Amino acid sequence: MFSGVALTLGQPFAIGDWIVLSDGTEGRVIENNWRSISLITGAHNVVVLPNSVLAKVGLTNLSRPDESHQITLSIRIAASHEPERVEELMRVALQDCNAIIKDPPPVVALKGIDAIAIETELQFRVASPAERTAARNAVIACVHRHCREQGFYLAMPPQPLPLNLA
Structural contact between residues 10 and 57, judged by C-beta atoms closer than 8 angstroms:
no
Banded pLDDT at 33 (limits 50, 70, 90)? confident
Q: Are 10 and 36 spatial neighbours (Cβ–Cβ below 8 Å)?
A: no
Cut 0.75: pTM above it: no
Mean pLDDT in the chain?
88
User: What pairs with residue 99 in β-bridges?
Assistant: none
165: pLDDT confidence band, cut at 50, 70 and 90? low
Sketch out the chain's domains with CATH numbers.
2-61 (2.30.30.60), 69-150 (3.30.70.100)
Ramachandran area for residue 11 (φ above 0: left; ψ -120 to 50: alpha; else beta) = left
pLDDT value of residue 128 = 86
pLDDT at 58 over 70: yes
**Residue 96 backbone phi and psi in degrees, to 5:** -80, -10
pLDDT of 9 > 70? The answer is: no
Q: What is the pLDDT of residue 125?
A: 94
75-81 mean pLDDT: 97
Can you list the pairs that 143-151 forms with residues at least 24 positions away whose Cβ atoms lie under 8 Å? 143/75, 143/90, 143/93, 145/93, 146/89, 146/92, 146/93, 146/96, 147/77, 147/89, 147/93, 150/89
Check residue 82 and give its pLDDT: 96
